Amino acid sequence: LASVTFMMGTFYLINHPDQDIKKASWNVISATISIFCAVLLFQGVNGLVEKYVLGEVEGNEKLELMVDFLHAFIWFLLMQAVLAGISGAVTLDELGCGGKGENEEDPEGGEGEKEEEDSDEEQEPEFLRKQVQLKCWATLFGHITGFACINAFATLQIFVMTKKTK
């Protein structure tokens, strides 16, 4: 009965005539789904790290601590790289990873002149698309990075507590 009431309440809120209530409802649903996805992704990757990196070294608390902090740091760097790429702050051309090299010719046969800048009407949908993608990936990677940091600091806490008891 409670789950039916919850679902009916959810449908009522997302179909409410007030636009602010609709928007807030969708934001809560989006954040909740993002958290569940982040938990699943982090637990999956953490399980692989524990099996293939830490699986052979049982009982080495220092190594486990270093691996967990490295794992959290990698998620943090991955989040920064993905968001920088989506926002356009860094491109593959600037990193030297993609695009034409300096010595390559233009395959179109043009003189290398840039096309005219898009009009404001054409730039607006691109801006909104980037904004939505940034919000999506920032929320997901932020949650995953948070879970990785929680795991790393929990390992640190266990490490400290076991040293105090010995």
Letter string b/e over residues 128-159, b meaning 16 or more CB atoms within 10 A of that residue's CB: eeeeeeeeebbbbbbbbbbbbbebbeebeeee
**Does 105 or 40 have the greater pLDDT score?**
40
So what's the pLDDT on residue 164?
Answer: 83
Tens-place pLDDT, residues 108-145:
555 544 455 556 666 788 888 899 999 999 999 999 99
So what's the pLDDT on residue 124?
Answer: 82
pTM metric for this prediction: 0.76
So what's the pLDDT on residue 121?
Answer: 62
Tens-place pLDDT, residues 1-45:
999 999 999 999 999 999 999 999 999 999 999 999 999 999 999
On the 0-12 / 13-18 / 19+ scale of CB atoms within 10 A, 105 is exposed
Task: Look at the chain and count its residues.
Answer: 166
